[in-house]
Amino acid sequence: QNPKTSATVKQLLADGNAGELQKYFGSRMEFGTAGLRAAMGAGISHMNDLTIIQTTQGFCRYLEKNFSDLKKRGVVIGFDARAHLSSGGSSKRFARLAANTFISQGVPVYLFSDITPTPFVPYTVTHLKLCAGIMITASHNPKQDNGYKVYWENGAQIISPHDKGISQAIEENQEPWPQAWDDKLIDSSLLLHDPYAMVNKEYFKDIQKQCFHRNINKETNLKFVHTSVHGVGHKFVQLAFKAFDLSPPFAVPEQKDPDPEFPTVKYPNPEEGKGVLTLSFALAEKDGAKIILANDPDADRLAVAEKQESGEWKVFSGNELGALLGWWIFTCWKNNNRGTCAIKDVYMLSSTVSSKILRAIALKEGFHFEETLTGFKWMGNRAKQLMDQGKAVLFAFEEAIGYMCCPAVLDKDGVSAAVITAEMASFLATRNLSLSQQLKAVYDEYGFHITKASYFICHDPKVIQQLFDNLRNFNGKNTYPKSCGRFKVSGIRDLTTGYDSSQPDQKAILPTSKSSQMITFTFANGGVATMRTSGTEPKIKYYSELCAPPGNSDVEQLKKELDELVNALEEHFFQPEKNNLQRKTE
């Protein structure tokens, strides 16, 4: 019943354009643990009114099956500022249609009345003890995309088998229910609640538990620039600074208001490096700011840059900021929680493709470190398990600039991470230290951890499959590579097949998944490299790290060694020319 998508399909039929129709209707979007992520447009392979209705109907039936008190507790729904003129799709419209689906079945819905950061949805699930949460966002994807992200009652993203159960329920509930299209019905319903004001008050109260240096914050001369990259973050980061008694950061004027066209950037992804930060650098130079904080459009990620003595800007990698925040949060805990919780009950987490710097800090300081599979769904669920056992989970991060600094949100949160980074920088400034200098101090104390990550773009799933098959049958059937150029392979873990050469029974400890590719190679020189496919983009990613024990300070030599390892990895394992892979371009 959407006139725009309907007209698109009718036109394709009239033109007899079978190829395009096949693209639109050939296969349904797959509902996975990350929910849905696809372009907005017509057909079952895209995000549109109909596929949102069908998805929510399936999700609603699945929740009814799992929660006898669903009609008492309800669900929360949030949305970002994405919109797609040609198909009439927008995050707000999708959120209203989803709310209408639940309300039609007598389920209370806490629908935010305005755009919010993604972390506000898991926060609301936990805070109001709801059954589930939905966030309509495509995070930092290109502007034509949208997504449907799902949280369980524990406040973490869903993990298997929920994705399979929801997927099956969607298949069984494809016919729109009566009144499914009429989202105006919700406005007069007693089951509709708006959590916006309450969450904006409670969230900022909760993150203040991570504020330890209010007096320094009030007096610091350090200036910050913030960009929300045309997304939702501006207002919320301003409020977070206020909650910590910091002067508000200078906002990049061209990027502070939500704009679904993302007009000033090629990709709205701060992970892509300096290109996204061009306007931030200019504003920082003009206003004399030393530090730039950049959120992605749904404000769950954070990139940080700092002006160096040389006048150059350094953009910290996700691993470097993870090292700094891990050090800072542990230091604050140590100085402020003596006696309230034993160090043996303190935990930090990171994903298996992230730097092992937290492991080094944990070993020396005496707390626990655990690694999980890639993605905050794993860290959020594990954190909740540990918290339920009375443990304190201080921090979790992954290299894709995602940080969980506050136990009130069991997912990455770019708002709390931004203000905690600002407090850390303000504190360090009182000691005449920059973030870069402190990072070096962390590495000096706990050992250098040099990392390098990148990706290749590949739109052909067959080529990706072949590339990984080749690695599993490198020198004959079922043999992995014994070396990569001059680098000897000393261990292999394949989380697609469940093989791990380092375990006595050769079985991997972390959960395995046949639906995604992921192989980790350990090298005799202490290097580690992981190759994996992306769940949301047509990419084959790689992550590499060299760890040195404390005291080995020849960083340039370590960097050179890692560069050579990465070059060998690309040449021998990726074979970009043979496989026609497109390199990441800055």
Catalytic residue among 139, 317, 354, 544: 139
CB atoms inside a 10 Å sphere around CB 466: 11
- Amino acid identity at 514: K
Collect all residues with Cβ–Cβ distance below 8 Å to 311 and sequence separation of at least 6: none
Contact (Cβ atoms closer than 8 angstroms) between residue 446 and residue 364:
yes
Collect all residues with Cβ–Cβ distance below 8 Å to 257 and sequence separation of at least 6: 230, 234
Q: Is 276 helix (H, G, I), strand (E, B) or coil?
A: helix
User: Is 27 a catalytic site residue?
Assistant: no
Residue 421 backbone dihedrals phi, psi, to 5 degrees:
-65, -40
Residue 331 backbone dihedrals phi, psi, to 5 degrees:
-60, -45
CA atoms of 40 and 49, how far apart (whole Å): 9
CA atoms of 135 and 69, how far apart (whole Å): 22
CB atoms inside a 10 Å sphere around CB 49: 22
Q: At what angle do helices 120-128 and 196-207 cross, to 10 degrees?
A: 90
Contact (Cβ atoms closer than 8 angstroms) between residue 380 and residue 431:
no
What is the Cα gyration radius of the chain?
24
Pick from 487, 543, 486, 537: which is nearest to 519 by CA? 543
Pick from 206, 186, 2: which is nearest to 102 by CA? 186
Contact (Cβ atoms closer than 8 angstroms) between residue 36 and residue 148:
yes
Integer CA distances (angstroms), 566 to 223, 455, 525, 527, 545, in order: 37, 11, 13, 10, 10
Residues annotated as part of the active site: 139
